[in-house]
Amino acid sequence: MIATNAWTPRIVGDPTDQPDDAPADGIETVRLLAEDGAATGHPSYSPLLNADQVREAYRTMFLARRLDTEGTNLQRQGQLALWAPALGQEAAQLGAISALRPTDMVYPSYRELSMAMHRGLDPVAVFQIMRGISHASWDVDAHHFGLFSFVVGAQTLQATGYAMGITLDGADEVVLVCLGDGATSEGMVNEAFNYAAVFNAPVVFLVQNNQYAISVPNSLQFRGAPAARAQGFGIPGIRVDGNDLLAVNAVVAEAAERARRGEGPTVVEAMTYRLGAHTTADDPTRYRSREEEQLWAGRDPLVRTERWLRDQGTHDAYFADLASEADALATDVRARVLALEPVGITELYDHVLAEPSPALVEEREQVRAYLANLEGR
């Protein structure tokens, strides 16, 4: 349904000063860093990360962005089937995951490369999926990091179910699940919100509101923003400047601790913007203006974090060394991606159940026999 009172979310500096075109829902946008990187005060939230922790987060953000560029290049050269850039959303991702314990489970969508790297995954594991030669390429339990989900919104039900299991087990863990603003229109996501609320599941829903569901802007997606709609399910909804690493970290940390205390789920709406395309199959110039893109380019989370780090005394050598590290990593990843070989379609059956059922084994053998029959044709 098309909204008649359309609005365009905009980020403001003073959390008490909401712009005229902000959602009329009374929800502020939490911010700890101004767009120029200067620290700002907030009555309820304070930075939890010190300079060393921010430097480490920035390093992962910077490396992930360099690999984002490499992913797009590889796809354009016919070496990847698809690439989904996260350009501009790095602070939302690193701010959130750095607020968790290593044992807390994360369910990504398909754009969380920087989160995967934070959890110690070899980035080639992500490229392997995008090359179209593997459906599952890392140990979920070892990294406490789920597989990429390409069915929009499906990961929210999986995360909610996992979180309900945590409650039954009495474990001291929480779950973070990532989704976009467009996913909140999916029925599965609304089911997940409802189940999480009813069963008091320890799950944090991180909605990276990058303003578009592919080419559909917020104004044509919904009348009530995700943070406001959360309240209808009985879930607290918090809006945060998603390009502010410190603010996202503080908000998600609070939501995670709330869940850990047994106080249930939270929806965190991180207001951000994808500076690039939705995927390499998309042309954003067909639905976005140059002026809009330039506005959000001025809110680049890497630029903002770098300015803050420089204010904290970080020297030029740190940034120069990081640039060299990023180039070396991109060269290494490219070489290893080009060397990847398909593992075979029947490998998929090894990742369905811990103990394959007789029916699954029989089906796998039927597929193998069929493929063998095609050899030489």
DSSP string, 2-38: --SS-------SSTT---TTS-TT---EE-SB-TTS-
CA 151 to chain centroid, in Å, comes to 15
Nearest to 274 by CA among 131, 84, 115: 84
Output the CA angle 58-60-61, nearest 5 degrees: 60
How far is the C-alpha of 50 from the C-alpha of 283, rounded, in Å? 39
The larger pLDDT score, comparing residue 192 to residue 133, is at 192
* Residue 115 and residue 263 in one domain: yes
* Residue 243 and residue 159 in one domain: yes
The larger pLDDT score, comparing residue 189 to residue 9, is at 189
* Residue 257 and residue 162 in one domain: yes
- Contact (CB, 8 A) for 236 and 266: yes
Lowest mean pLDDT among 219-228, 296-305, 320-329, 342-351: 342-351
* Residue 138 and residue 266 in one domain: yes
pLDDT band for 4, please (50, 70, 90 cuts).
very low
Burial 285-323 (b: 16+ CB within 10 A, else e): eeebeeeebeebeebbbbebbbbbbeeeebeeeeeeebe
Please report the DSSP string for 51-119 in residue order. HHHHHHHHHHHHHHHHHHHHHHHHHHTTS-S-----TT-HHHHHHHHTTS-TTSEEE--S--HHHHHHT
* Residue 351 and residue 339 in one domain: no
Q: Which residue has the tokens 């989704």?
A: 179
14 pLDDT higher than 90: no
How far is the C-alpha of 167 from the C-alpha of 159, rounded, in Å? 13
Structure confidence by residue, pLDDT tens digits, 106-115:
999 999 999 9
Q: How many domains does the chain have?
A: 2
Instruction: Give the rounded percent of residues in the chain with a pLDDT score beyond 70.
Output: 94
* Residue 261 and residue 355 in one domain: no
11 pLDDT higher than 70: no
Lowest mean pLDDT among 69-78, 213-222, 266-275: 213-222
The count of C-alpha atoms lying within 13 angstroms of the C-alpha of 223, restricted to the half-sphere facing its C-beta, is 5
377 pLDDT higher than 90: no
| Average pLDDT score over the chain | 91
The larger pLDDT score, comparing residue 11 to residue 68, is at 68
pTM tops 0.85, yes or no: yes
Nearest to 195 by CA among 237, 166, 235: 235
Alpha helices in the chain, H assignment, sequence order: 51-76, 90-97, 113-118, 123-130, 140-143, 154-169, 187-198, 226-230, 245-260, 290-297, 301-311, 316-338, 358-374
Structure confidence by residue, pLDDT tens digits, 127-166:
999 998 887 779 999 999 999 999 999 999 999 999 999 9
How far is the C-alpha of 280 from the C-alpha of 121, rounded, in Å? 23
CATH number at residue 251: 3.40.50.970
Please report the sign of the dihedral spanned by the C-alpha atoms of residue 108, residue 261, residue 237, residue 197: positive
* Residue 248 and residue 376 in one domain: no
pLDDT band for 24, please (50, 70, 90 cuts).
low
Asked whether residue 18 is domain-assigned, the answer is no
Asked whether residue 16 is domain-assigned, the answer is no
345 pLDDT higher than 50: yes
Lowest mean pLDDT among 69-78, 111-120, 341-350: 341-350
Asked whether residue 3 is domain-assigned, the answer is no
The average pLDDT across 283-309 equals 95
Per-residue model confidence (pLDDT) at position 23: 55
* Residue 76 and residue 162 in one domain: yes
Asked whether residue 327 is domain-assigned, the answer is yes
* Residue 74 and residue 159 in one domain: yes
Where in the sequence numbering do the catalytic residues fall?
274, 278, 287
* Residue 284 and residue 349 in one domain: no
Residue range of the domain that includes 355: 345-377
Q: Which residue has the tokens 């590290």?
A: 325
What is the phi/psi pair of residue 103, to 5°? -90, -5
Asked whether residue 22 is domain-assigned, the answer is no
